[in-house]
Amino acid sequence: MEKILISNDSNKATRMISELQEKCNKANKAIPFLFKANDIELTPDTFRMAIFSPRQIEKVYHDTLNEKIKGFPQVIQVTARNEAEFAIENILDELGKLEFSYQEKPFISLSGTSCKVNEEAIKESCKRYITDAKEIEVYNNVKQAADALNLLFDGDIPVTWWGIFQAKDGKFAVNENLNFEYFLNKK
């Protein structure tokens, strides 16, 4: 499939990369600390959950807690589960502060227990292409006209360049009142 690059907003890409890298750096520091403080095992899977679906950490926390207290008396188990609700709220609040938006998530790649920015994906997302055959035909026609005008103006486009043409019967035509000598002297 033929495609033509129409625009590339490299400034936007640079800004997005910088902002997302800052968020990844925060997550890479905060998640291990948060997990350690709450006795949650840091694995690639739990890290992925924290980044992409933080609510799943609640189940991991409860499963870990239930495993640890299963031999305790019932009263202590109930108390521990009640206290766990406060811990879960805190964990989810902290993960919420790190949360990546729906638009950012496709540009994050995970490696073990850390995240990083997929810079190439961001750069590509800031490019605009046309791929439709009819659009490409129009583009090529406009480009051919622009190339012809560049040849005519030779790098010095007059301020009133639109005065060079007239419209006759729905088509462009040469303005007969044009100062042709002006263009002769430019060559």
Residue-wise DSSP of 28-61: HHHHHHHHHHTT----HHHHHHHHH-TTHHHHHH
The confidence score (pLDDT) of residue 130 equals: 94
Q: Residue 89 — φ and ψ, nearest 5°?
A: -55, -45
Nearest alpha-carbon partner for 32 in 43, 23, 22: 43
Give the Cβ contact number of residue 24 at 10 Å. Answer: 22
The confidence score (pLDDT) of residue 118 equals: 97
Q: Using CA atoms in the order 12, 18, 23, 29, what is the torsion angle rounded to 10 degrees?
A: 170
pTM for this one?
Answer: 0.73
The confidence score (pLDDT) of residue 153 equals: 79
Which residues have a Cβ under 8 Å from the Cβ of 172 and sit 6 or more positions away? 165, 166
Say how far apart CA 117 and CA 108 lie, in whole Å.
Answer: 5
SS3 148: helix
Residue type at position 128: R
Average pLDDT of each block of 10 consecutive residues along the chain (187 residues)? 92 97 97 94 96 93 89 88 90 92 94 96 96 92 88 77 78 79 66
SS3 1: coil
Domain coordinates of the chain in residue numbers? Answer: 7-124, 132-186
For tokens 């007059």, the residue is 158
